[in-house]
Structures are given as C-alpha cells and as structure tokens.
Structure 1
C-alpha cells in the first residue's frame, strides 16, 4: 500500500468502559479526517474500522505497559523530572490499581493487532501503538511556560475554563498547521461548543475529543518528524512518548490564571 494512504489515530482512553473516550484520525499529510467520542472497546474498534487498513501509528493517552506493583513507573519519574516544573507531571500507574492490571490500552492493542514497542515502525494495517500524554506535549510543542488549565477541576469556574479552551484551541490552530483545522467542519463545531458553553459539563463533553486530536497529531509526528518526540522509559517497564526537554524556563502561574500562547 502506498505511503499516501497511511493514516494515524489518537485515542484519549478512559480507564474503564463507562466513561467517555475521545478518538481522532488524521491523514498521511496530518489533516484531521474525523473525530468523536465513544465509550466501549467495541465502539472504539468500530470507530477505527473504516481506517484500520491505513493506520500506521496510534497514540493513546493512557498507561500502556505497567509492571510495577506500587509507586510510579520509571517513565513517569522521567517525565516528572523534565515536565513537572511546568505542571505536567504524570499520574502514577501500578498494578495495585485494577484499572492497570492489565491496562485497558494494552488489552485494546492486543485485540486490534497493534504493536506496543515504540521501536517498531508501523505500516498501514499493522500500526504501532504509543503511550503519549498531552500536557507535556503541549508544553514542548506550544512552548508553554506552564500547562493550560482547561481541565474541569474543582475550583475552576466556567469563565476561566472557557478562557483556557480559547487559548488551547488557538494554540492548536497555530502550532499544528498540518491538522488543517480551519477546513474541518467538526473542528468548527468543537470551537462553537467551547465558546457557547453555558455549563462546565458542556466543556467536559468535548475535552476527550480535543485531547484525542492532540494524540492523533503526536502519532503523525512520530511517523513524519524524527526528533520532534522521544521515548521516556522503555518497553520493559513502560514508556511515554513526549517532546524533548523544553529549552524555555517554566513560569508558575498564579492559581488558575490562563497563560498566553
């Protein structure tokens, strides 16, 4: 199959099969083709089925390889050492948490025939599945001094969240030109939903899909821009694919003040 037919997918995977999972697919050129939200593994497989023969890389925001019984994985410590100062440390995954014993992402990869070894260069129909994490990716690729506070955490009001979403979506438009977001009807809907949200839950409904689009772009970068991303950790103990250490210094923001980008 020719190179021009390859595609790349991003999955913002919920830990269990009752919460929302975002899914997105980009073309060989990196343009957003489709995105949406699903719940179960069967729905993820169904969403990706029309593109299965073309997928070369899948980037999943969820622990993929977890072998440690307690504490953090080595890759999480590495990510924390590099990106923790920017507010982008990783949540600890270990096998004492039933969500990671086994990890849902590993089960999904096995079901769909994806390789979980980052050294494997995927090809159409036999993709490599990578663990990624959007927050460090945004810090590195957007040049952020600190993470964008778009997650609906306690204490963040609707106005501050909408301001954070505007920063995030504008940054994606500007820094990810390959996605060609301005030509996407779905992206226009997501932007309208973010701007017009009247309740925080309306922003939560689009959060996973937007993160999945970021993941899909990371999948595309892994295949097309050697050096843009690197592996923290290893396939034996677990790994996370993220940008190299940022050259710019961190600037801790006042609580829940949205950074400019």
Structure 2
C-alpha cells in the first residue's frame, strides 16, 4: 500500500435526523509516517457529521466514512438480500436486523436525510477501492452488531449477543456494556490508537450509560471496522452483498465467516464479490 495519510470516520447516524436524538462520530487517523491518533467520539446530526468529515478530509490523503446505516437501498419493500444474510447470523446470536426499504418514511424514502447526506458527501461507494487508494473520499456501510461477534469471541454463540443499549432498560445488561467497551479498548490498543483506548476504558466504567453513550461507542466500533478493512489482510474482513442491491463490511472470524457464507449460499447473495460456496 502506498504510504499516505488516511482517516477513518465512524458515523453512527441513528438513521433519522433529530436534534434531540443525534448519532455520533469518531475519527481514527494515520499520518504518512503511520503514526496513529484519534478523536473522542462525539454526538452529531447528519449536518454536524458532514462538517466533521470535511475537517478530517482536509487533513489527509484518504478519508473513509464507515456508516452504520444502509447506503444502497433500491428495494421498495421487504429486506435487502444482504439484510437477510446478516439477519441469519444476528438472529442466531439473539439480536435483530431492521429491514431497509424505500417505504420507510424518514429513513429511506426519497427525502430521507441519508440521501441528502450522501449527495453532499460526494464519496466513492466502492469499498474495495477504499482499501488501497492513495487519495480520495469513500463511503462504506458497516454494522456494529455484525462486527461484535468477531471483535469479541464471547459474543459468538447461540443467543450470546450483547445487550448494551441502555434505552432498552429491561434487556440492558451492565456487564455487556463493560465488555463491549473493553473490546473497543483492546482493539484500539492492539492497533496503537491510545486516545481511543483511553476513552473506551473510561466508558467501560460508566455506572449508568445513556443512549448517547451507546451511540458514541457504536461510532467507535464503526471506526474500528473501517480501520481493519483498510489495514488488515483481505481475508480478515468480509463483504456481503454488492453495489447494486446493498452490502455490508465487517471483520470476520472463521466461525462468523462460515455461518455468513452458508446463509449467503442459501439466499444467492455474493460474498467478497463472488457467488457464495459451501464453507
């Protein structure tokens, strides 16, 4: 890979654009000498995220925005093919996948904020190009719930998905909050991003996290997913789906990859740009 400066912006958009319920952004950076740094996750609306990205873009050769929201939604109803594959794994883990289709007003209809965001961003949608580019602005779709069973092996198993959303009080589990935060801290430390590791360490000790804290944590996970996509070998991540019907990028342990490949084979969905074959 050409030595250049890059920034990964993790953006948990919260899907709709409400001032009272914003998403969050977080940046992981590398200069041309491969020295890494990061920003502290912060709450942000779509407009604020655009301002944040513009500032980051001005300081690097390559900027990759890892967005936790579907970026390609051509279907009018039901689920995208990639959603079905992701749901097969996440349902097994005990979680759920919200279907993305154009009938969801405020989320994916023609006037939805995500399309205004994409138009104003003007980024390249090609995730494979983002891995090796020496310049440019790229947008990739990621999904923290799909990343977590690879980032934290304890969450890979039947009904083992973490319950770390404090807004869902009856399901929220404080140990899961600490463990997910600790997973972010551990990976940030391994990838030599000390500021993010310190932030995650502090987040793990929050006695009563709020929804905004979870949005910040998810933004950090998005940034880590983008970092791994950019810097690790190709077989350590997976691309489910395509640029026509929609896709997701995620890190992929052997177990996660095997289950996703099997689900993709049943649904006729491509994996890493090719027709899925039996694992």
* Alignment TM-score > 0.5, same fold: yes
The secondary structure found in structure 2 opposite 1:100 is coil
The CA deviation at 1:91 is 1.3
Q: Secondary structure at the match of 2:51?
A: helix
- Of structures 1 and 2, the one scoring higher in RCO (CA 8 A, sep 6+) is 1
| Residues 118-164 of structure 1, C-alpha deviations (whole Å, 9 max, x = no match) | 2333646522211110011011222223221101214136xx33x22
Distance in 1 separating the partners of 2:189 and 2:203: 21
Matched, 1:195 2:205: yes
Whether the aligned pair in 1 keeps the contact of 2:22 and 2:43 (CA below 8 Å) is yes
In the alignment, the residues of structure 1 paired with residue 4 and residue 44 of structure 2 have an alpha-carbon distance, to the nearest angstrom, of 30
Instruction: Give the 3-state SS of the residue equivalent to 1:97 in structure 2.
Output: coil
Residues paired across the two proteins, number: 241
The match for 2:146 is: 136
- Matching of residue 168 in structure 1 with residue 183 in structure 2: no
1:43 matched to which residue of 2? 48
Structure 1 unaligned blocks of 5 or more: 251-261
2:11 and 2:222 in contact (8 A); partners too: yes
Q: Does the residue aligned with 1:239 lie in a helix, a strand or coil?
A: strand
1:190 Cα deviation after fit:
5.6
Q: What's the RMSD between the two structures over aligned residues? A: 2.7
8 A Cα contact 1:140 1:245, kept in partner: yes
Gaps of 5+ in 2: 260-279
TM-score, length-normalised on structure 2?
0.76
Instruction: Pick closer, same or farther for the CA change 1:60–1:43 going to 2, 3 Å.
Output: same
Is residue 75 from structure 1 mapped to residue 89 from structure 2 by the alignment? no
Q: Report the more deviating stretch, 57-66 or 79-88.
A: 79-88
How far apart, CA to CA, are the structure 1 residues paired with 2:203 and 2:8?
25
State the TM-score, normalizing by the size of structure 1. 0.80
> Secondary structure at 1:27's aligned position in 2?
strand
Cα shift readout 1:60-81 (whole Å, capped 9, x = no counterpart): 0011111111111000011122
